[in-house]
């Protein structure tokens, strides 16, 4: 997207880079992932 393109919603402005990834969990590993995630990234208090 160049800097002069229209953004979603009709707004114009500086372009931004969108960075993301999709992760897949092995079957049966969702609870292990949640436990490990919560140890590193606790909810704000």
Task: List residues with catalytic annotation.
Answer: 37
Is the CB of residue 5 less than 8 Å from the CB of residue 18? Answer: no
For 35, the token pair is 């436990």
Task: Tell me phi and psi for residue 8, to 5 degrees.
Answer: -55, 140
């Amino acid at each position: 997207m160049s800097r002069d393109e229209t953004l979603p919603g009709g707004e114009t402005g500086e372009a931004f880079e969108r960075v993301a990834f999709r992760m897949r969990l092995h079957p049966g590993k969702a609870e292990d992932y949640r436990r490990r995630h919560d140890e590193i990234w606790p909810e704000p208090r």
